[in-house]
Amino acid sequence: MGSPRSLRIEAIHLDQDDPKKCTARKLERAGLIKCKSRISQAPKRGVLLDPLADHILSPADSRLVVGGSLVALDCSWKKIEDSVRMIKRTTRLESRILPILLAGNPVSWGKRGRLSTAEALAASLYIVGKKEEAVELLRPFNFSDSFMTLNKEPLEAYASCANGSEVIEVQWEFFDP
């Protein structure tokens, strides 16, 4: 079985949210990812999950994740624009937005695109063909089954696409524009 530990998965953690609800820190305590507190510590190659990006994550990005890193920016949704601007100036990571998915976490349950860091990382792994690793990454959370149940069909569909253009088209089969 695959393990998230065999991939380079990180979160740039900016300490902007309630530490008790921080999924990135919980993943770090479980030994599944590494958290960095400074953007300058971000990896040089890979994918940055960026909700403001122009390009959508697709299975074609697998080479960037497997050969580099998968990086989430863990910050407050209220400060997302400033945080993303700051990281884009200082890294060469390739920014990707996730296709539409529903949050399974208790804070944003059922909301489109309001995923926790753990959900975003797991969804990314699933889409690039690392399904077992995605499931394992969510194991520390009570909402893992909820997230996977809410998103099973879209995740399978996204993971079967060849590229970002197909992912964009497929998402509208599940969600209204």
pLDDT (0 to 100) of residue 52: 86
Identify how many contiguous H helices and E strands the chain contains and give both numbers. 7, 5
Taking only the tens place, the pLDDT of each residue in 103-153 is: 999 988 999 988 999 999 999 999 999 999 999 999 999 999 999 999 999
Taking only the tens place, the pLDDT of each residue in 23-57 is: 999 999 999 999 988 777 888 789 999 888 999 99
CA angle 30, 122, 83 (to 5 degrees): 90
pLDDT above 70 as % of the chain? 92
Edge-first strand order for the sheet with 94-96 is 34-36, 9-13, 70-74, 47-49, 94-96
